[in-house]
Structure 1
Amino acid sequence: MASPAPSSADQMPIEIVSQNKAEVSLKDRFFRYFQHEITALQEQMGRLGDTALIGGERADAIDHCLAGIARLSSEVKDASASIPPYDQRIYADAIKALQDKLAEVRASFAPRSKFSFKTARKNPSAISLADAAEIAAQGRRHIPGYRSNDNSLQSSANQSPISSSTPVSDRLNLAQSLGTAEKAKDLHEENTDNQNNSTSVGASSVSVSSHTGLHIVLPTSASHATVPASITSLQHCVVDMSIPTADGRPFAGLAIKGVTESLLLCGQVNGPAHITGVKHSTIVVSCHQFRMHDCLDVDVYLSCSSKPIIEDCGDIRFGKIPEFYAPKSLDGPQANFWDQAQDFKWIKVEQSPNWRIINESERVPEDIWVNVVPGGPGVSVDTILKATRVIRP
């Protein structure tokens, strides 16, 4: 006797758990992105004292810090739809602490009067960034379906317990509280050392170009419009472009060219993804069309609604996209031809020797994508590249 079909009531809990999992994933990734950004801002403030006064260089550097804080505040507002009000308050308090720190640094540069009284004024409402991290992490533990991870969230807050009465200068020692050895670059920030090194997000395109040894995280503001994205001329980098596309705003198209020994998390692409001249790297992408030219020794974790195509390539390995980066469709499972690649330069009936499926033993474990790849305290570019087998023993 056939079993009765499950009712809609029986299926509902599964849908709720799936939805909660997606929401938690986005909130967790924004939290990590926030950690990266305040670390970068702290590093900029730490360099202000070494910046020359001649030609207004220090004033420009201070303005750059102010703009960075304002941008980060805007990022929190942009992500408000996916961040609960409780967490928004935590982020706002952390940004306020950054503003206080910058004001303190600026005051230290001002000429001092011969006779003056110093009054230490403390803002009782400004909490430390370490406290902000811990409270935000604790808040997430109460979200249905959220799985706590001490290595990814708690460790950043617990490295240096700081009370709210600690002076601002000590409370904002991000190297101990939320610091990471890696400097995260967001796509509004220009590289002042070399004008050829650039990351940019604009009304017409998003691009990451000419970097070496960086962990680059695309901010949520890039999701304001569906635009083409490009990644060019990178070496030994980790690039995460998945955050702005996680809420259903995919890139219009993707072009990757000239990348070596890097991990590229490309997010969701509504159109084609063209990959050219990539070597010894790993690519994670969800797209409608995938075409690869002149590439060597590349792992591709893919979700593709058409059969991927390779030309003039060698040692290409395909795997199904990790669950952490898989597109979430409200219409149910979508067609995925990730394992049905076509080699246009191999016309024989036999299987092309230029590509194969990644063996189960070779696949990067899901917990690496969730807990290591997003970065964090003590997680360097080398750590991520080794964990994802871009760098192999």
Structure 2
Amino acid sequence: MEVNGFHHDNSVDKKAIVTDRLQKRELERQEDIQKRKEEKDNSSNAKESTRYFSDNFNIQRESVERALATCNGNCSDKIILRERFDFVAQSYQKLQKFVADSVMFLPSYDLRLAQETLSKMQAQIQEKREQMLPKKKFAFSSRKKVDKDAHVMTNGAHKIIEKTDNLGIDLAGCKIVGFQGATLVKESNDITGKDVAVTNLNDCTLKLLGAPSTVHMKNLKNCTVLCGPVSSSVFISDCEECVFVLACQQLRTHSTKNSSIYLHVTSRAIIEDCKNLDFAPYSLSYPGQNDHFDRSGLDKSRNNWNDVDDFNWLASDVRSPNWAIMEEEKRKKFLEE
């Protein structure tokens, strides 16, 4: 065949086209093989990481349980018994840190199970210590030590108040104790997957921008607490003139008065020996919050903020006078950039 005076061989073009198509198909096949290999490797690595976590978590959990078993009535020496409980607390903290360090690669379901196990274990340790060493039950003493672990950013003057001696504080993976007139910030790396303990704050603003396992707050006065989603429970006691912005599975509030609670709770809110509490929907927003909700396992679509159970109020047909729903025009939004 001649085109414009030149002989053109169609067989060469067809061969080139077929060769080109075959090369493209082979390239696509190789890319598909590589993609499947990477997916398999990633899946295998994920399974190996989860298996490694599970094995080590169980080993450390059993270690804590064995240590706790030594804290029994056979030991009559209070000094030795306190030393054993101190060892239990150290072992628990080590396990808690292991969980916190594993947050990045653990599936949300495995993380939630581990956090629930930690919460139950902490409750067991507290209960047993209160039984064996009753004088230490929620006792506070004048131990004037600075909490070096607290990351503080201050607005104006602040001073360190005395530190408490409390088992809940001792077991917590993050402790914020004894500040006045300060703005305190804990980021995700500081608190996600950990128990957080807060006590003896006066005129402070506290920002917990992560996904803690549990949060304990005691002896706060005239403070504002902004907290990301908590995978299990928040405990509040002996607080006054405070604003709490919280998301959690369960809220327990004791001996607290004249305070506002902006709440997202998937289970229920319980109050006892409280007065003048106002409740409103959770209204905190900050970068990374959606990821923290995913890690906590909380259902964002389920919020029982206005279903409050008062243990001091027995009438079922009349709402307790110790709490109220905040008027909409008084509600605030809390935005962190």
Scaled by the length of structure 1, what TM-score is found? 0.40
Structure holding more strand per residue: 2
RCO higher in 1 or 2 (8 Å CA, sep ≥ 6)? 1
